[in-house]
Amino acid sequence: MTKAQTILIVDDEARNIELLQAILEPGHFELLAAANGSEALAILETREVDLVLLDVMMPLVDGFEVTRRIRAGEKTQGLPVILVTALHEVSERIKGIEAGCDEFITKPFDRHEVAARVKTLLRLNRYRTQIDEKEKFERVINRMNDGLLVCDAGLRIVRYNQKARELLGFDDPAPGWLERLGRDFRIAHYGQLEHDLAVVDLDFDMERPQTHTAKPLILSFSSSLVRDADGALASVVILLHDVTAQRKEQFRKESFLSLMSDKLRMPLAVSLERLGTLRESSGLVSDQAFKQSIESTVDLATDFLAMMDKIFDFLTVHAPVPGEDGSDAAGLDRAQVEALAVSIMNRPGPKKIEYEFDLPLDLDLSISEKHMEILMKNLIENAVKFNDHYAAKIAISAVREGGLVRFTVADNGQGIPGEERQSVFDAFYQIDKPGIEDAKGLGLGLAIVKKIVEAGKGEVKVEAPPKGGTAISFTLPQAAEADAPRSAETLAVSR
């Protein structure tokens, strides 16, 4: 009688182990269980196992580390490992592949998927000893639909797949790849690529113009740093994805919106000016219905013009933040930033606004006054629009972070649900929440903020302050390192 194959299930959640056992029982396997990574490694020291189902997110020793130790062990290096994960990020999956896993199963489990993957891996396991680790890795990554490059700490390419060769057009991407990249592609990254690749995760587009032999190509370039146990850079994983069709469609939509916005704004502004003159003259007319009609028309036209301005702002922030390319490099100081924000908050509106500033005295930002005004206008409008209090309280603060300045614009509004905090930066996204029906707009305000900030190599995120409300933080580059010591003062006023 054939000996039953042994499967080790590793998960710190007992219910997940029970569920996987129930799925695998019909296969007549011998099922072992471990509640953590250390326990699993101890079992592998004393028992012969044919396959490991391994949860990624575990305390102390996670699934990636357990996989690495399995691959490092003389007895276990050929053992099939399936990582069970709720993570969907490509970088996490690449991390799993680099650790040495063979397959992934995504939570929540699909019974048929689990059974099929386990059966397939067990069948293939008898051939594993004939394949060394490098060949196995190449086989896995060459099945990907995206290009993959793996660099060492010196940014030398040590592995790549066939798709990367096709997308880049290089027979061998390794020699002088950064130089060739800059020569063949227009890269939408405004820093020093060779330096930044080894320092931070990057995400940008790069375009190869059309030639007599090739069509235009736009690739999204995403890099992730992989560090060793001591925190030192071990490798850089780069993912290339063909986004030509998506970007062309986006360009067509934005071109149409730009055309419509430009064509409508001018006649609308002229009409609004004439309506204003008519409203001023309506005081001489005794017909109240006529007066109300004029007021209503002016209000509607004003709202419509504001929407046109929002669309125009969204379409005109593609360029890098001035200062990155040497233009408008004088930057903005603390007084200018405060003046911009105060002028926006003092504009007529439906709510009283109370505000305070906490900014470094030696603030010096590499951003144009126009872009800063657009940033502040959209953040302040958002803070007021989605606020259910009589008075909207807005706090604008900033701190230095290396060569960047992190701004935070906090309010006392309703807050943003956790599941929506990332989506609010998507163009045309609007929160569907009771009580804010009257606050609906185009859903472009925070998308505009994100575009401006990311053009300057910054980041923007939504936070939930302990006392409630919403805090949106973003980073901007400094024009220069200030020599003066850090200091700040707080200004609290209201209108």
Query: Domain residues of the chain, as ranges?
Result: 6-141, 147-242, 247-315, 332-494
pLDDT at 2 over 60: yes
Average pLDDT over residues 10-14: 90
User: What's CA 317's distance to the chain center, in Å?
Assistant: 18
Tell whether domain 147-242 is in CATH 3.40.47.10.
Answer: no
Q: How do 30-34 and 6-10 pair as beta strands?
A: parallel
pTM: 0.44
The average confidence (pLDDT) of the chain is 80
Cα(66)–Cα(70) distance, rounded to whole angstroms? 6
- Residue-wise pLDDT tens digits, 70-94: 998 888 888 889 988 876 667 778 8
The band of 295, judged by pLDDT with boundaries at 50, 70 and 90, is confident
Residue 8: what pLDDT? 93
Cα(442)–Cα(428) distance, rounded to whole angstroms? 6
Average pLDDT over residues 453-478: 83
pLDDT at 131 over 60: no
Other C-beta atoms within 10 Å of 155: how many? 17
226 by DSSP, 3-state: which?
strand
Residue type, 45: E
Residue 65: what pLDDT? 92
The band of 142, judged by pLDDT with boundaries at 50, 70 and 90, is confident
Residue 136: what pLDDT? 60
Cα(166)–Cα(130) distance, rounded to whole angstroms? 29
pLDDT at 105 over 80: yes
Average pLDDT over residues 19-42: 90
pLDDT at 182 over 60: yes
Average pLDDT over residues 470-487: 66
Fold of 332-494: Heat Shock Protein 90 (3.30.565)
The band of 429, judged by pLDDT with boundaries at 50, 70 and 90, is low
Which of 78-87, 96-105, 253-262 shows the lowest mean pLDDT across its residues?
253-262
Q: How do 30-34 and 51-55 pair as beta strands?
A: unpaired
pLDDT at 198 over 80: yes
Residue 108: what pLDDT? 82
- Residue-wise pLDDT tens digits, 298-318: 777 777 777 777 767 666 665
Other C-beta atoms within 10 Å of 65: how many? 15
For the domain spanning 6-141, the CATH number is 3.40.50.2300
**DSSP 8-state class, residue 268:** H
- Crossing angle of the two packed helices 63-72 and 90-99, in degrees rounded to 10: 20
Question: How far apart, in Å, are the Cα atoms of 103 and each of 57, 84, 290, 302, 478?
Answer: 16, 9, 72, 57, 45
Q: Phi first, then psi: give them for residue 404, nearest 5 degrees.
A: -120, 165
